Amino acid sequence: MRRVVVVSNRVSLPEKKSGQAGGLATAVAPLLQAEGGLWFGWSGKVHEEAEDQPLGFAQAGRVRYATFDLSPAEHEGYYNNYANGVLWPLLHSMPELMRFSRADLAVFEAVNARFADLLEPVLAPDDLVWVHDYHLFLLPRELRERGVENPVGFFLHIPFPAPDIFALLPNGADLLEAVLSADLIGFQTEADLLNFAAAAESLLGARRRETTRLLWAGREITLGVFPAEIDARAFAERAAAAAATAPVERLRRSLAGQSLILGVDRLDPSKGLVQRLEGYRRFLETSPAWQRRVTFLQIAPLSREKVASYQALRRELLMMAGQIDAELGDPDWTPLRVLTRGESRATVAGYMRLAQVGLVTPLRDGMNLVAKEFVAAQDPDDPGVLVLSRFAGAARQLEAALLVNPTDPDSIAEAIGRALAMDRRERQRRWRVLWEGLVDRTPEEWGRDFLHTLERVAARRSGAELGPLSGGRSAPFGAVRPALAPGLFFSRSSNAVN
């Protein structure tokens, strides 16, 4: 089997692992440990001499890690200012939060080039190269310019906006041209795929062949939808075990019989936290019978603290929380608790199992694995209710949740009331539908689906047919679910579109 080379902005080094690991690490690490391979990217360290340092290597199990450091100027221009100050808000359809400068773009381009300079010498001819996320949009082209002919796949973990929004990015056409040097480009949802294809058509003049193949610069690029998954069984076991731990027991005692509403998100403008708190406030104001019978715990660890929009959000969120507690609380009842520090994944899993309502209401999200984790954490005999944004990628798989428009506080308030009043039989019925949609899928299968497809695409390009990755369960390339548009490729594990 070919070696898998995962390339990401940040590498989850084995000695750095903590109970808070999530996101990309949760999705990719199990596959790499199962299949073996190389994980390449930024170490997370920042220092002045970084640009002169060689790659550092480490080994853990079947995974080899290759990392390098960033200089302060690179970290500021590439990571804080361009990746997270421009691309993140734009791709989440929040262009008003963009702060574009050509100087930051130049640093972003230089860091993507440094990724390629350091990666190219460690690649073997048969490696499968899997590039992850918006930080590295330019890397496929940088690799091709250095003579890399390996199969290159790119997966976007966050949404892709409508073409007219993406067109607001001054270097949008160049970014699209760079990522189209990949052989396979993957997305979380059908909507993201279609938005990307339309942007490539309008900004570059690319031509679409069927739905999932783009013709550009004499090449054919394949597009696919691969919804990221969790290991639902493992998370359910973790939540059940955590329910008896000291942190969860302390929270249980502090509730004194009140129902727990729980939110778990990074403190980020895309997560709809301000609108969520306003929805909770409306619920308390319009349903006074629930006052003193419910507590809302919002865990919102700080992130990207040097980005201005994140600083502003923190101030607004804490001010709102203070107002809600001051105006609606009592001396012996605090309606809202906000934590801006992280908790371990095990503890959060225990909190989820304890909660009667999970509030997951992003304004826009690529997938949102927290929603899936909340479902997996529940006690099947007495499950809580998931209130989920229609604009999270997970909503296409979790339609038995209570779906809301996150910009409408009244919609959130009504869903909270409905969730708290729901009888056990309906809660069990909804939970079973949600659970059955998650239980047979794993991150390993998600990764194998993508890589198997990449091998198929590479084989088509070279004229040779290759077998699947070990353990793969993918459908033949080009397999189409009957209800989908002709030619639309979805991974076997996907039921993201009905």
Q: Is 360 left (phi over 0), alpha (psi -120 to 50) or beta?
A: beta
Gap between the Cα atoms of 298 and 331, Å rounded = 20
Both tokens of 378, joined, read 């529940």
Do 73 and 107 contact (CB within 8 A), yes or no?
A: yes
| Burial (CB count within 10 angstroms: exposed 0-12, middle 13-18, buried 19+), residue 411 | buried
Do 455 and 447 contact (CB within 8 A), yes or no?
A: no
Both tokens of 103, joined, read 């100087």
Do 251 and 351 contact (CB within 8 A), yes or no?
A: yes
Task: Work out the end-to-end distance of the chain between its first and last CA atoms, rounded to an integer number of angstroms.
Answer: 34
Closest CA to 479 of 461, 462, 456, 448: 456
Largest CA distance in the chain: 73
Catalytic residue among 69, 104, 365, 449: 365
Do 160 and 192 contact (CB within 8 A), yes or no?
A: yes
Closest CA to 240 of 353, 83, 356: 353
Both tokens of 143, joined, read 């690799």
Catalytic residue among 75, 92, 132, 157: 157
Q: Which ranges of 154-307 does DSSP label H, i.e. alpha helix?
A: 163-166, 172-179, 190-204, 232-242, 246-255, 273-286
Distances 9 to 168, 319, 454 between C-alpha atoms, Å: 24, 33, 21
157 is catalytic: yes
Both tokens of 82, joined, read 């361009």
Total number of residues shown for the chain: 498
Gap between the Cα atoms of 152 and 131, Å rounded = 7
Q: What is the 3-class SS of 358-412, one letter each residue?
A: EEECCCCECCCHHHHHHHHHCCCCCCCEEEEECCEHHHHCCCCCEEECCCCHHHH
Both tokens of 384, joined, read 């809580």
| Burial (CB count within 10 angstroms: exposed 0-12, middle 13-18, buried 19+), residue 424 | exposed
Closest CA to 258 of 295, 285, 287: 295
Report, as residue numbers or ranges, the catalytic residues. 157, 365
